[in-house]
Amino acid sequence: MTTPWPLWEVFVRSRRGLSHTHAGSLHAPDAEMALRNARDLYTRRGEGVSLWVVPAESITASSPDEKDPFFEPAADKAYRHPTFYAIPDGVKHL
């Protein structure tokens, strides 16, 4: 019986200066093949300038079902939001 290839998550940066965004997933036997397959699958129309492939088993994520209890501690840090002072008229993009 053969072992299935591991799952890789693919992130693509479409232009210089932009962040990588999640493009999808694929199976490959190793990082080099995952990178080549990601190039062929997710940038075949010239959409990307950079690729990241990450073993899916290496990603630790919070659960959407636990959103409220997980992110609740951030809600009591109101000082991080500009609600206690006036923003001057000349300040843009804040």
Per-domain residue ranges for the chain? 7-61
Q: What is the pTM of this model?
A: 0.68
Q: Per-residue pLDDT for 50 more than 90?
A: yes
Please tell me the distance from the alpha carbon of residue 56 to that of residue 33, in angstroms, as a whole number.
15
Pick the CATH number of 7-61 from 3.40.50.300, 3.10.20.520, 1.20.120.1200, 3.40.190.10: 3.10.20.520
Q: Identify the three-state secondary structure at position 24.
A: strand
- The tokens describing 36, both together, are 């080549």
The number of C-alpha atoms within 13 Å of 69 and in the hemisphere containing its C-beta is: 3
- The tokens describing 61, both together, are 């994520």
Q: Which residue has the higher pLDDT, 3 or 49?
A: 49
pLDDT at 30: 97
Please tell me the distance from the alpha carbon of residue 10 to that of residue 39, in angstroms, as a whole number.
9
At residue 90 the predicted structure's pLDDT band, cuts being 50, 70 and 90, is: confident
